[in-house]
């Protein structure tokens, strides 16, 4: 009997790419991939270990799935990803339900791990997280066929004091431009129209391989792949955002006018404690430069509240900063005290209830900003990638170039002139907090 394998992915899009490669390797080995966990004889949990909430979700998921050994067909439960890279020994000692472990630098051996786990060997492969795939590995895309993520680098050298990514993913390592473009061509051959470029630090791309910043050139090369209509940038580290990159986003029609640039805070004292690049003045100058050269840009950021030493005045100024800058999209995280990071040893830790209040307050401010920002689209005609049909409301739902998949807003379309997975021109008639609606136009 052919064993049936289910992969459960937790955490970020970078984990999703790893899971899709594991799916390709599993399929190549001759195992059958299934969606129903109750049907699976092997389950692989690709975990996240970035913050406490993610660790808790990973552990709870492992325990929940282990019950399928008693209630369903599960023979082997394998754990991969960031949690295993940090806690391999503790996981095997404290969770006997686990039948195999593979780290972030060894997941390309997943088929071998499955083989051994099914034989009862309890394999562990967790080495240094230095893997960076240069060849185009087999990959089964799990997102909608018209959009996908492509990882352009691994690891990070920035050593922000709150972040455990270097511990779990290692030093910064760019993929070669040739391998990324080759993967883009493979994705396009499978019907992908939108590629989102991702890394822990995308703007640093190329400095290790080529001795200079190469993200602008890379994005240009990806847009030349036949069939690709949108190229989107994620996780742009503000310290390395070059004028050349701004110019490329501004002038290349296939590059989405969308910048995802995590800033983490606005106040100099906090930025210094976080070991982030630049200060408040530098951030403002960079944003002004981006918006001046790309007037219609959609700017997304993420902020951390409750970092050790964040005073009430610091938070008040952060709120003023959000009101003034008017980010198009914004995510807020409460500071998570990660072991083995410098910030975990800082004095003046903030109580959890204060962190939560600050996060809620900041998101309420952003809600007002988002309402204001959305209204500017009314009357415009936007290109919309149509993603699904809602039969109850009789509308098609898609996204403009100003919204990334799954995390941002959507466009509701009536009288849609195209099918799912195609681009439609839509006249926007109404704006809501994050979403837009309008009619398709020919």
Which segments are annotated as binding site for [4Fe-4S] cluster?
A: 12, 48, 82, 156, 160, 163
What the block records as the tokens of 171 is: 């030093």
What the block records as the tokens of 430 is: 């109404």
* Residues that constitute the known binding site: 12, 48, 82, 156, 160, 163
Whose CA is closest to 341, among 383, 304, 385? 304
The single residue listed with the structure tokens 């406490």 is 52
DSSP per residue, 118-166:
HTT---EE---S-----S-------S-TTEEEEE-EE------TT--HH
Pairing status of strand 173-174 against strand 153-154: antiparallel
Dihedral sign, Cα of residue 350, residue 260, residue 153, residue 241: negative
Whose CA is closest to 195, among 405, 21, 412? 405
Whose CA is closest to 15, among 176, 172, 165, 123? 165
Whose CA is closest to 45, among 61, 34, 26? 61
Dist CA 415 CA 134 (whole Å): 44
Residues composing the chain: 442
Residue 193 CB: number of other CB atoms within 10 A? 19
Please tell me what DSSP assigns to residue 350. Answer: P
Dist CA 395 CA 437 (whole Å): 10
Whose CA is closest to 74, among 105, 41, 46? 41
Collapse the DSSP code of 366 into the 3-class scheme (helix H, G, I; strand E, B; otherwise coil) and give the result: helix
Residue partners of 311: CB distance under 8 A and separation at least 6? none
CB of 431 closer than 8 Å to CB of 402: no
Residue partners of 404: CB distance under 8 A and separation at least 6? 196, 232, 234, 258, 260, 300
Collapse the DSSP code of 193 into the 3-class scheme (helix H, G, I; strand E, B; otherwise coil) and give the result: coil
Dist CA 168 CA 92 (whole Å): 17
CB of 137 closer than 8 Å to CB of 25: yes
């Amino acid at each position: 009997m052919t064993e049936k394998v289910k992969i459960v992915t937790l955490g970020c899009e970078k984990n999703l790419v790893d899971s899709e490669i594991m799916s390709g390797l599993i399929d190549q080995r001759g195992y059958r991939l299934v969606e129903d966990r109750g049907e699976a004889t092997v389950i692989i949990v690709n975990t996240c270990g970035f913050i406490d909430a993610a660790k808790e979700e990973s552990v709870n998921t492992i325990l929940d799935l282990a019950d399928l050994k008693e209630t369903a067909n599960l023979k082997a439960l394998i754990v991969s990803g960031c949690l295993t890279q940090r806690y391999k020994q503790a996981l095997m000692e404290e969770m006997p339900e686990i039948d195999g472990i593979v780290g972030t630098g060894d997941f390309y051996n997943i088929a071998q791990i499955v083989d051994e786990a099914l034989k009862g060997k309890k394999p562990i492969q967790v080495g240094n997280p230095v893997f960076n795939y240069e060849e185009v590995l087999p990959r089964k895309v799990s997102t909608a066929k018209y959009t996908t993520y492509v990882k352009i680098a691994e690891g990070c050298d920035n050593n922000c004091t709150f972040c455990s990514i270097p511990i779990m993913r290692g030093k910064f390592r760019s993929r070669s431009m040739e391998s990324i473009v080759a993967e883009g061509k493979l994705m396009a051959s499978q019907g992908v129209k939108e590629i989102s470029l991702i890394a822990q630090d995308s703007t640093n791309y190329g400095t290790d391989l080529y001795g200079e910043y190469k993200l602008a050139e890379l994005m240009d090369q990806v847009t030349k792949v036949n069939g690709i209509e949108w190229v989107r940038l994620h996780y742009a580290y503000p310290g390395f955002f070059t004028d050349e990159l701004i110019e490329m986003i501004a002038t290349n029609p296939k590059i989405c006018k969308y910048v995802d640039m995590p800033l983490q805070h606005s106040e100099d004292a906090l930025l210094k404690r976080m070991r982030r690049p630049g200060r408040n003045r530098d951030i403002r100058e960079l944003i002004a430069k981006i918006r001046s050269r790309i007037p219609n840009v959609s700017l997304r950021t993420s902020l951390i509240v409750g970092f050790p030493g964040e005073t009430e005045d610091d938070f008040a100024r952060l709120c003023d900063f959000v009101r003034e800058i008017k980010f198009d999209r914004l995510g807020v995280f409460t500071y998570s005290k990660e072991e083995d990071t410098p910030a975990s040893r800082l004095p003046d830790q903030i109580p959890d209830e204060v962190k939560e209040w600050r996060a809620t307050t900041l998101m309420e401010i952003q809600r007002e900003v988002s309402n204001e920002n959305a209204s500017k689209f009314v009357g415009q005609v936007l290109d919309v990638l149509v993603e699904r049909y809602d039969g109850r409301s009789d509308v098609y739902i898609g996204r403009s170039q100003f919204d990334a998949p799954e995390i941002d807003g959507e466009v509701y379309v009536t009288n849609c002139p195209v099918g799912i997975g195609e681009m439609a021109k839509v006249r926007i008639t109404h704006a809501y907090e994050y979403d837009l609606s309008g009619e398709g136009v020919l």
